[in-house]
Amino acid sequence: MLNYSKIKTAAGFGILLAITFGAGMWLGQTREKLSSFDEKLSPPNTSHEHRSEKFDGVEAIAGSTGQLRLSPRVIDTLKVQVAAARRAPLTEPLVMTGSLFLDSSHLAVVHTRFPGEIVEVGQVPETDAYGNPIVIDGKPRMRQIRAGDEVQKGQLIAVVWSKEIGETKSDLVEALSRRKASKATVERLEGLEKGSVSGQVVREAQQKYQSDVIAVERADRTLRSWRETDDEIAEVYAESDRICLGISEPDSKVRQTWANVEIRAPLSGTVLERNGTVGEIVATGVDLFTIADISRMGVLANIYEEDIHKLTVLPPEKRTWEVRLKAEPESPPILGRFEVIGHVIDPSQHTAAVVGWIQNPGNRLRTGQFITATIELPGPTDAVIIPNSAIIDEGHIATVFVACDASKQEVKARHVAVIRRGRDFALIQSKPSAKVAPDSLQEGEFVVTSGNLELFGFLQDLPTAVGAR
């Protein structure tokens, strides 16, 4: 028979052994993880001895504040590089961005003075692909004006048939006829023997004649206010004479052009836009043509408010600039002048507008093109130029390391006064200033451009502050 008590005891012992073994395995793994975690949390060895190994060969020269002596190995390890300070140029460029625009005083948007139908569009000689006129049977072939064509002031560009102009001309003809008839009546009554007609009849006839004279003047002035020419108004008077003489057939040309309104170019220039074609009904608000003189373009540049004073102090003869197209940076600049410095500051950009003009040879410039306008300003006479990488900024203090010579074995920290920074170079005041820079930086001195940050860190780790503060 089986001994159940022994079986139970053996089973219990096995379970206890398994639990003990599993707990040991878990504790071992946990100990390894904690050890690894402790290693990660442990800070690296940043002792002075370890740090000094990196700068072994850098020596602070006693008795000279901020001056270091470098061994060749340190120069090679830190890749110490130097650059010579250069004299600042006599002029410095002020570069502004902007765009081109059309001069509004040389721009005209042409409308019709009366609503009506376009019956004719002005024509120009047609040319081939090389710009030569096309001649057929000894006569140049003509085509309608389109955008890009050159027109001259006074050139016919469109003809609109208008009911209003035709009716006003007819009113003038009628007024002329009534005036002529009433004048004849007055002359006949005044020629009769005194007393043969009453004075009332004569006065009424005279009043009628005066009313007809006023009607003629009103119709005549209306046509002139609509910019009808003297020749066009003379045609109306001639038509009235024809009717009064009893000639029944009117001139065929007068009949065809009686209600026509000629639209002529208000200035010489280039047609930028044309709207409408023959047979189209147009209103007075439609822009039929846009004509501009593009031989001169306007330039609108934006200047930051801190630079405005640099332009306001320039005399009129110095207010010139060079304009380049952003799309053609390699093309030669176009010389011009700026005349207006805006009095309104854009609150979002903090810029003002500078407006000027440039010539447009060959009409290659387009309105709206992006440009850069460069103005040469007088530069500072007491400044040098060094690379931006040579400057170490510490709050409001700028520090550079100056090498005694090109060998770079001895360098000295020196505070400098930064006049202005560019993209790659900075303008440094060369003369010492008691308020800003107790030391000066002269033309030809060598400044450290690479490895200077490590050397500055070495100075910061010295027991005593090094360098003037």
Encode the chain (469 residues) as per-residue pLDDT tens digits.
434 444 444 445 455 445 554 545 554 554 454 344 344 434 444 444 434 444 578 888 877 778 888 888 888 888 999 999 988 877 778 899 999 999 888 899 999 988 999 999 999 998 888 878 888 888 889 999 999 899 999 999 999 999 988 999 989 989 998 998 999 998 888 888 777 778 888 889 999 999 999 999 999 999 888 888 888 888 888 888 887 777 766 667 777 888 888 899 999 999 999 998 999 999 989 999 999 999 999 999 999 998 899 899 898 888 999 999 999 888 899 999 999 999 999 999 899 999 999 999 888 899 999 999 999 888 777 888 899 999 999 888 889 999 988 888 899 998 888 888 877 888 888 876 655 545 788 889 999 999 989 888 888 877 654 444 3
At residue 87, the pLDDT reads: 86
The interaxial angle of helices 199-225 and 163-191, nearest 10 deg, is 150
Q: What is the CATH number of the domain that holds 405?
A: 2.40.420.20
- The answer to whether residue 37 is domain-embedded is no
Residues 359 and 274 in one domain: no
Cβ–Cβ < 8 Å for 147, 274: yes
Number of structural domains (the chain) is 4
Residues 386 and 397 in one domain: yes
String of DSSP letters for 140-204: E-EEE--TT-EE-TT-EEEEEE-HHHHHHHHHHHHHHHHHHHHHHHHHHHHHSPTTSS-HHHHHH
Our CA angle for 349, 351, 356, nearest 5°, is 135
At residue 241, the pLDDT reads: 83
- The answer to whether residue 6 is domain-embedded is no
What is the span of the domain harbouring residue 134?
Answer: 112-160+264-287
Residues 138 and 269 in one domain: yes
Residues 135 and 274 in one domain: yes
Q: Which two tokens stand for residue 148?
A: 């890009």
Do strands 81-84 and 334-341 pair parallel, antiparallel, or not at all (unpaired)?
unpaired
Residues 247 and 268 in one domain: no
Cβ atoms < 10 Å from Cβ of 317: 7
- The answer to whether residue 194 is domain-embedded is yes
Sign of CA dihedral 217, 219, 223, 225: positive
Residues 167 and 244 in one domain: yes
Last residue of a domain, one of 326, 346, 378: 378
- The answer to whether residue 364 is domain-embedded is yes
SS percent in the chain: helix, strand, coil, step 5: 35, 30, 35
Q: What is the CATH number of the domain that holds 324?
A: 2.40.30.170
Q: Which two tokens stand for residue 197?
A: 């007609």
Q: Which two tokens stand for residue 460?
A: 């910061």
Residues 149 and 273 in one domain: yes
Residues 145 and 170 in one domain: no
Q: Which pTM was predicted?
A: 0.59
Q: What is the CATH number of the domain that holds 125?
A: 2.40.50
Query: In b/e form, how buried is each residue of 23-48, taking b as 16+ CB within 10 angstroms?
Result: eeeeeeeeeeeeeeeeeeeeeeeeee
Q: Which two tokens stand for residue 276?
A: 């409408």
Do strands 67-70 and 91-102 pair parallel, antiparallel, or not at all (unpaired)?
unpaired
Residues 323 and 298 in one domain: yes
At residue 322, the pLDDT reads: 93
At residue 45, the pLDDT reads: 43
Query: Cα(171)–Cα(246) distance, rounded to whole angstroms?
Result: 18
- The answer to whether residue 280 is domain-embedded is yes
- The answer to whether residue 21 is domain-embedded is no
Query: Cα(98)–Cα(114) distance, rounded to whole angstroms?
Result: 40
Residues 242 and 209 in one domain: yes
Last residue of a domain, one of 358, 378, 398: 378
Residues 220 and 351 in one domain: no
- The answer to whether residue 45 is domain-embedded is no
Residues 172 and 254 in one domain: yes
- The answer to whether residue 14 is domain-embedded is no
At residue 46, the pLDDT reads: 41
